[in-house]
Amino acid sequence: MLPLSDLKVLDLSRVLAGPFATMLLGDLGADIIKVEQPGRGDDTRHWGPPFAGGESAYFLAINRNKRSITADLKHPPDLERVLELASKADILIENFRRGTQQTLGIDYKSIRSRNPHIIYCSISSFGPGKDENQPGYDFLIQARGGVMGITGHANGEPTKVGVAVVDMICGLYAANAILAGLQARAKTGHGCHIEVPLFESQVSWLTNRAQGFLISGHDIGRFGNAHPSIMPYETFHAADKMIAVAVGNDSQFRALCKAIGREPVANDNRFANNPARVANRVELGKLLSEEFVKKPAQHWIASLQAAGVPCGPVNSLADVFVDPHLRSSGLLQKIHHPTVGTLETVGSPILMDGARLPIRLPPPLLGQHNEEVATSEWDEPQK
């Protein structure tokens, strides 16, 4: 039995942060009912190409282990149906624009009056403050929240991360907070209201870059594939492709120098420890680049790995999905989808007692479970 198999989750969210959070809970066994707008569904159903079997790859990526029903929350019979489900749920998650919940009658106070045990999670664009009513998407938050200011090459334009990382981090925070809320409920018998804003989530994971600025007052900007505080910790061109070298301590640096045939470099005072290497990064980078470009990537990867130096190829997606470790890891799973047929997808990275979490349900068709949910659903709220 999966650890969350006794939990009922009503998912009123859409796009990515909320659906990602509920997918994480569903992977761990929770029963997720996803409520979608009739005729249209989640916005991500339309975000493509690519599509397969009429479903967008975007939607397929983040909605496994869920059931879908349709409801127009402005239509009283549909709203009542959703409120009835909420009265029996353990968890409700939503990402409506602030104030919409009260207008529709699905705000925390209204739901709590029906179900005092509910863990109610709101995902917002901005938390309480000056811009609490402003809308937001991942790209906007990456720009405003600083991640674009530290991503990209120093002489290039600010660059967003290649996936919607703000939404996903926010979803991780939300899932974590929900589990904490459940733990608190087990002690007190009462539910709670959780809010996880995108903007604050973004700023919170600037971590060392944020703390570095707050300490120094100096914005060091974009470093490309290098690291502002560790050297060498960046990409290099081998004879045929790029490799990533991640030297985290002085012993690894000595091993690196030996592996590339430049052992005396480790004893050079300019490079003898990490602060010195950071201060002299240009000289060291040039020296290493002159060596790495002489031989193919696989030669250096084999040599450095044998020496205990963390390194690897800079892969395209085509490279990633033939990576021997990935193909042997069990992370990729094949499931049957009602319109796609056999669908290969990336499963959960979590291992429970050494086993991969199963994909119990494929991403649902819009309203696929309307009849099922209407006729045989949750009986009592969890205490």
184 by Cβ neighbours in 10 Å (0-12 / 13-18 / 19+) ranks as middle
Can 27 be counted among the known catalytic residues? Answer: no
Rounded to the nearest angstrom, the gap between the alpha carbon of residue 173 and the centroid of all alpha carbons in its chain is 10
Beta strands 119-124 and 91-94, pairing class:
parallel
Same fold, 8-205+327-375 and 233-237+242-313: no
Q: Give the separation between CA 120 and CA 108, rounded to whole angstroms.
A: 6
The letter for the amino acid at 250 is: D
Active-site residue identified among 167, 250, 323, 353: 167
Q: In sequence order, what are the beta bridge partners of 119? A: 91, 192
Alpha helices in the chain (DSSP H): 17-27, 57-62, 76-86, 100-104, 108-114, 138-144, 165-188, 198-204, 207-216, 250-259, 274-279, 281-292, 297-306, 317-320, 324-329, 370-375
d(CA 89, CA 345): 29
C-alpha triplet 252, 236, 256: angle, nearest 5°? 20
CATH value of 233-237+242-313 in 3.30.1540.10, 3.40.50.2000, 3.10.310.30, 3.50.50.60: 3.30.1540.10
What are the distances in angstroms from CA 125 to CA 58, 94, 292, 352, 353? 21, 12, 45, 33, 37
> Which phi and psi (to 5°) does residue 199 adopt?
-60, -50
Contact indicator for 29, 4 with CB cutoff of 8 Å: yes
Q: Under a CB-based contact definition with an 8 Å cutoff, are residues 227 and 233 in contact?
A: yes
Q: Which residues of 346-378 are buried (b: 16+ CB within 10 A; e: fewer)?
A: ebbeeeeeeebbebebbbbbbbbbbeebeeebb
Measured between alpha carbons, how far is 78 from 6 in angstroms, rounded to an integer?
A: 26
Tens of pLDDT, residue by residue, the chain (383 residues):
899 999 999 999 999 999 999 999 999 999 999 999 999 999 999 999 999 999 999 999 999 999 999 999 999 999 999 999 999 999 999 999 999 999 999 999 999 999 999 999 999 999 999 999 999 999 999 999 999 999 999 999 999 999 999 999 999 999 999 999 999 999 999 999 999 999 999 999 999 999 999 999 999 999 999 999 999 999 999 999 999 999 999 999 999 999 999 999 999 999 999 999 999 999 999 999 999 999 999 999 999 999 999 999 999 999 999 999 999 999 999 999 999 999 999 999 999 999 999 999 999 999 999 999 987 677 755 54
Q: How far apart are CA 7 and CA 168, in angstroms?
A: 22
Which pLDDT value is given to residue 376? 67
CB atoms within 10 A of CB 222: 18
- Domain spans of the chain? 8-205+327-375, 233-237+242-313
Rounded Cα–Cα distance for residues 128 and 258 (Å) = 55
| 199 and 125 Cβ atoms separated by less than 8 Å | yes
- CB within 8 Å of 63: residues ≥ 6 apart: 19, 23, 34, 42, 363, 364
Residue 5 structure tokens: 């198999």
Architecture of domain 8-205+327-375: 3-Layer(aba) Sandwich (3.40)
Amino acid at 190: H
Residue type at position 235: T
Residues 6 or more apart whose CB falls under 8 angstroms from that of 330 comprise: 347, 356
Q: Give me the residue label for tokens 């405003």.
A: 144
Antiparallel, parallel or unpaired: β 355-356 and 66-70:
unpaired
Q: pTM of the entire structure?
A: 0.93
- Please state, in angstroms and rounded to a whole number, the distance separating the CA atoms of residues 201 and 245: 29
Q: Which residues sit opposite 344 in a β-bridge?
A: 334
Amino acid 377: pLDDT: 75
Q: What is the pLDDT of residue 380?
A: 59
